[in-house]
Chain A
Amino acid sequence: SQQGEEDPQALSIQEGENATMNCSYKTSINNLQWYRQNSGRGLVHLILIRSNEREKHSGRLRVTLDTSKKSSSLLITASRAADTASYFCATEHHSGNTPLVFGKGTRLSVIA
């Protein structure tokens, strides 16, 4: 079964608005990662947050992690049409000995 579950499944916003996607997972993790996938193409790594971190920034991206709630959020500020893609969270088990397990993703549409 999938480790991470993204919410919402789909999100449509206007250019310039902020987009927030959430991810919930089930077991203890070593780290949580966010990836982006443009339609039918390979996944691109966005950001990695370790279990002892609570927040991380990278450009217009802000990721939070709440291990007590087993949840994470990805915020994209000042969205652009080029941000239109699917976004996946992936978790690595706390043992560090298992591969990344992906959720089903959030489909983001940014309308110009």
Chain B
Amino acid sequence: DSGVTQTPKHLITATGQRVTLRCSPRSGDLSVYWYQQSLDQGLQFLIQYYNGEERAKGNILERFSAQQFPDLHSELNLSSLELGDSALYFCASSLGQGGTEAFFGQGTRLTVV
């Protein structure tokens, strides 16, 4: 158990809909990262938050947004969903802004139909 909790584990939704993925980082970790993993694209970095502030942005679509709350949990919002958004979405956390290992949650498997 990594200590990182993601909910829900599975999500099936229709095109055009909006969903929210939730992540609770490991106790004491200030950084939260979101990654998307699809079969043909590997693990793509989406966005990082550190202590409530956006720290780095990767290949995140404009239809996607995220935030980190004062209690350090984070949410990833995906809107106007398309079939191609079907993927595993991982949250990871680390103690600082970098230089150490990251701890991954078990992921949310999103299926858009």
Q: Do A and B form a real pair? A: yes
Q: Number of B residues whose C-beta is below 8 Å from A? A: 26
**Interface residue from B33, B58, B100, B105 paired with A42 (Cβ < 8 Å):** B105
Q: Does B64 contact A (CB under 8 A)?
A: no
Q: Does A78 contact B (CB under 8 A)?
A: no
Chain B residue contacts of A100, Cβ below 8 A: 33, 45, 98, 102
Q: Does A59 contact B (CB under 8 A)?
A: no
The answer to whether B104 touches A30, judged by C-beta atoms less than 8 angstroms apart, is: no
**Interface residue from A30, A42, A88, A96 paired with B107 (Cβ < 8 Å):** A42
> A41-B106, A42-B90 are contacts. A99–B101 as well, Cβ < 8 Å?
no
The answer to whether A102 touches B43, judged by C-beta atoms less than 8 angstroms apart, is: yes
Question: Can you offer 18 A-B residue contacts whose CB atoms are under 8 A?
Answer: A2-B42, A31-B99, A33-B102, A41-B106, A42-B2, A42-B4, A42-B104, A42-B107, A43-B102, A45-B102, A90-B102, A96-B99, A98-B56, A99-B33, A99-B45, A99-B58, A100-B98, A101-B45
Q: Number of A residues whose C-beta is below 8 Å from B? A: 25
Chain B residue contacts of A99, Cβ below 8 A: 33, 45, 48, 55-56, 58, 98
Q: Does B88 contact A (CB under 8 A)?
A: yes
The answer to whether B104 touches A102, judged by C-beta atoms less than 8 angstroms apart, is: no
- Nearest residue, chain A, Cβ from B57: A99
Q: Does B97 contact A (CB under 8 A)?
A: yes
Complex CA distance for A54 and B81, rounded to whole angstroms? 45
The answer to whether A45 touches B33, judged by C-beta atoms less than 8 angstroms apart, is: no
Which residues of B in the span 68-113 have a Cβ within 8 Å of any Cβ on A?
88, 90, 92, 97-107, 109
The answer to whether A92 touches B101, judged by C-beta atoms less than 8 angstroms apart, is: no
Chain B residue contacts of A62, Cβ below 8 A: none
